[in-house]
């Protein structure tokens, strides 16, 4: 891996992926995204990993896509490159994915953070979709996820003007979970990941799947999907252990089975 750093056990059952193009403010080139896709796929299959934290550095989570790779491309070139198939694979990550964001999260960087399940932001974090300023528009989910998070009016203003918002504004409108001092943002993400990693991996996977379905289906379909996954948890050893531990007034020991 040239552009990312992977620590499989940064904390018990918690893996860390760090974007590592500091000179380019972690601009998302094709190779970095392919490395990220492959790392997430591997961690998803690792039974020792129950949650994943994705971060950049204090100056930038990711300042956007690598414009140099796209500047001379035609529409047909972009169609053949098919860069968004990589994003589609990242979206399919089954384990909880938490973004620890400090500094710039712009363009593709904002879209990558929103692809994660939760976002912990430092006080210096900035979120925005400035693509309009270079004659294009968001293409990796920016118009869709930002609108779902902020509402039409605010998302429209950000997308059509390219303006960014602060971490506090993002927290106020529900884009991020919480804002903490810069020096604590990664530790706070580990704390959240650690809480989730203590719970049943089976139930966590099914619950994540159900929450995501809320954004992709009508209410009745979503309720049906949720109910199916609820019943499915009763096929797991974790459910038996969890309920037995509750009755016996002890801490459960979940094995992901």
Which regions of 126-197 does DSSP assign to beta strands (E)? 126-128, 164-166, 178-180
- Is the CB of residue 64 less than 8 Å from the CB of residue 126? no
CA–CA dist 161, 148 (Å, integer): 18
Q: What phi, psi does 55 have (nearest 5°)? A: -145, 175
Strand partners, 60: 104
pTM of the complete model: 0.90
Catalytic residues: 65, 108, 111, 131
Q: What phi, psi does 136 have (nearest 5°)? A: -130, -160
DSSP class of residue 64 equals -
- Is the CB of residue 107 less than 8 Å from the CB of residue 131? yes
- Is the CB of residue 50 less than 8 Å from the CB of residue 87? no
The per-residue pLDDT of the chain, averaged, comes to: 92
Nearest to 18 by CA among 30, 31, 29, 2: 2
CA–CA dist 2, 84 (Å, integer): 21
Give pLDDT tens digits for 77-121: 877 777 788 888 999 999 999 999 999 999 999 999 999 999 999
Sequence-distant (≥ 6) Cβ neighbours of residue 36 within 8 angstroms: 4, 17, 19, 54, 86, 90
- Is the CB of residue 17 less than 8 Å from the CB of residue 39? yes
Q: How far is CA 240 from the centre of its chain?
A: 30
227: confidence class by pLDDT, cuts 50, 70, 90: confident
Say whether pLDDT at 164 is over 80. yes
Give pLDDT tens digits for 35-71: 999 999 999 999 999 999 999 999 999 998 877 877 7
CA–CA dist 89, 215 (Å, integer): 18
Strand partners, 99: 54, 119
- The pLDDT, as a whole number, for residue 83 is 79
């Amino acid at each position: 891996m040239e552009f990312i750093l992977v620590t499989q056990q940064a904390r018990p059952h918690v893996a860390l992926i760090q974007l590592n193009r500091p000179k380019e403010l972690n601009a998302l080139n094709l190779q970095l995204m392919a490395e990220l896709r492959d790392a997430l796929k591997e961690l998803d299959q690792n039974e020792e990993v129950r949650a994943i934290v994705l971060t950049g550095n204090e100056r930038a989570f990711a300042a956007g896509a690598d414009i140099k790779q796209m500047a001379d491309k035609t529409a047909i070139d972009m169609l053949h490159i098919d860069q968004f198939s990589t994003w589609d694979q990242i979206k399919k990550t089954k384990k909880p994915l938490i973004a620890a964001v400090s500094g710039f999260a712009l363009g593709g960087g904002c879209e990558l953070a929103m692809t994660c399940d939760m976002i912990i932001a430092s006080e210096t974090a900035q979120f925005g979709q400035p693509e309009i300023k270079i004659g294009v528009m968001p293409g990796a989910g920016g118009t869709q996820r930002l609108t779902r998070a902020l509402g039409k009016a605010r998302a429209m203003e950000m997308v059509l003007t390219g303006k960014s918002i602060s971490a506090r504004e993002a927290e106020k409108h529900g884009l991020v979970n919480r804002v903490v001092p810069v020096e604590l943002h990664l530790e706070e993400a580990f704390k959240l990941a650690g809480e989730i990693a203590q719970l049943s991996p089976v139930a966590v996977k099914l619950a994540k799947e159900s929450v995501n379905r809320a954004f992709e289906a009508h209410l009745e379909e979503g309720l049906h999907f949720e109910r199916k996954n609820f019943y499915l948890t009763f096929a797991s050893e974790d459910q038996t252990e969890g309920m037995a531990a509750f009755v016996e007034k002890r801490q459960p020991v979940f094995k992901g089975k």
